[in-house]
Chain A
């Protein structure tokens, strides 16, 4: 994929970031934020995921547009599954 040899410092930095985010998400869950608990938890998880994809999976350093297309397509169709299913579940009680 990429011929870049990344510095090990970068990998360690990402690793520390992931560990910190893990601890943060566990701690934040113990605080009452009402409906924001879920949003914050998912946001932190998404940050972790993005960081793994960009750095550990080298997507930041690839010149391949196709790789990004593949990732976006999968996420897009997953969201379609969720969204259109929810269009049923979210409106069932309305009639």
Chain B
């Protein structure tokens, strides 16, 4: 394989400015903090993935023969907690957001660099607590911590896991706080709100959700911990408490949380589609306002997770109606992306493949969400694999695809190297195939009636389960490949130019990788966003062999 053999005299940038562990652990450079996050969330992604593989392994056969039932409960609980709180919620904001928000708006750093570092340390502390909870017995309540199992009956490490997520929540809150202040106060001259990349709008909306929603989760977990530790009576029905109150408070956060997970991904997809269609985004203000609308409406629909839990039918009607409305801004985005691609000059690079995957899979996931919002359907498929498939389509087919697409798109900027394009495309294909093979059968399984969180199942469901498990191993391969070739590229990858994709955006006007303070002089923005009519296409998109 021909590689870039020229080792240029290294100019100074954020990676080589200082060496040594202290320069990383005490850094306030948003780019270094982004990489610290990259390492930690990748670590937890593989932990969560490991639990997933064990689950799929158990489900190869109808009998419960790999692990005990209690262990199985712990597996799906910890898979959920780790994936949601330690991978999905931080992923794009803490890695790509941290790296790119200042660059995209022309700032030297975020508004509060030390709080940014604190965010990471809180994440690490939370992660250590969670790891300790896992090794000392795990949690078996489901990632949803429903009472009274979590407060009274579970014999597992509920308190430690709850406190861990509490701390992780503050990591999330501080990231959101930082972004909101940065976006309001630190845009470069000429960077008006309507000239900002839509990636920034997406992160702004995400940050609003993080700020307003996460505290409710925090207090809910505190109350669970207090009730469990001190035998208080808040959610315990034997003394007059209401378990549904827990669910209301829990889902008040956890539904908007799913928008924390998807909005940044949508922001990534918007950037990628504009670049690889070489076109202005169609309907910029629609996408911008749709992002805000998703954030606001996302707070109005939480009890659709509780339709069969015992809430009143009248409130179920209200929440069902509101849940239909929240799909509208998401659909608007899909239409706008499609319109952007129409008559565009499309190149099928790895990021673009992930973006295509996102649009298709997110649409399926979103549509099945509408099915679930319908009370009549929900009664039948709630708590079945239909729901599991729905949210994995959104979170894996949506959010993770966006994350991977973004990592590929901005990898040259982050590392100064190109990843090998052929391998990138191959991995994207493997992920897409593996994903669909894993999760499409689960729609059918759920529709046929297989409940979720069950360790055994009737023999008639085995074929679909086997397909799903086969898919998961393919998916795993697809996830490992980028890790391998990203690492490879750091040494052997083609050296990247400032703007290998010919993309719009201030981040592409800096060197790859950028210097510590991003810009030598504060840029003055006089052009609109996505000015692809003015930017020349790159001569070749790097196809590395």
Contact = CB atoms under 8 A, between A and B. Distances in A.
B311 A81 contact: no
Interface in A75-95: 77, 80-81, 84-85, 87-89, 91-92, 94-95
A46 interface: no
A94 B314 contact: yes
B181 to A, nearest CB: 10
Interface residues of B, number: 19
A80 B312 contact: no
Contacts of A66: 184
B212 A91 contact: no
B318 interface: yes
Contact of A91 (B245, B300, B302, B315): B315
B509 interface: no
B312 A92 contact: yes
A81 B245 CA distance: 11
A55 B62 CA distance: 67
A66 B204 CA distance: 14
A44 to B, nearest CB: 26
Contact of A80 (B208, B300, B318): B300
Task: Report the interface size class on chain A.
Answer: 10 to 19
Instruction: Classify the secondary structure of B's interface with A.
Output: helix
B184 A88 contact: no
Contacts of A73: 208, 212
A74 interface: yes
A92 B242 CA distance: 13
A94 B244 CA distance: 17
A89 to B, nearest CB: 8
Nearest to A93: B312
Nearest to A74: B212
A92 to B, nearest CB: 4
Interface in A16-51: none
A58 to B, nearest CB: 19
B412 to A, nearest CB: 36
Contacts of A77: 212, 299
A19 B226 CA distance: 34
A24 to B, nearest CB: 31
B244, B315, B319, most chain A CB atoms within 10 A: B315
Contacts of B302: 84
Contact of A84 (B212, B313, B318): B318
A88 B212 contact: no
Nearest to A77: B212
Contact of A87 (B216, B244, B252, B314): B314
Contact of B315 (A74, A80, A81, A88): A88
Contacts of A89: 312
Given A66-B184, A73-B212, A81-B252, A87 B315 contact: yes
B13 interface: no
B248 interface: yes
> Which of B216, B248, B312, B313 has the most chain A CB atoms inside 10 A of its CB?
B312
Contact of A94 (B212, B216, B311, B312): B312
Given A80-B300, A85-B252, A87-B312, 17 more contacts: A66-B184, A73-B208, A74-B212, A77-B299, A81-B216, A84-B300, A84-B302, A84-B319, A85-B245, A85-B248, A87-B314, A87-B315, A88-B244, A88-B312, A91-B312, A94-B312, A95-B314
Q: Across chains A and B, which 4 residue pairs bring their CB atoms closest together, nearest first?
A: A88-B315, A91-B312, A91-B314, A87-B315
Interface of B: 184, 208, 212, 216, 244-245, 248, 252, 299-300, 302-303, 311-315, 318-319
21 contacts: A77-B212, A77-B299, A80-B299, A81-B216, A84-B300, A84-B303, A84-B315, A85-B245, A85-B248, A85-B252, A87-B314, A87-B315, A88-B303, A88-B312, A88-B315, A91-B314, A91-B315, A92-B311, A92-B312, A94-B312, A94-B314
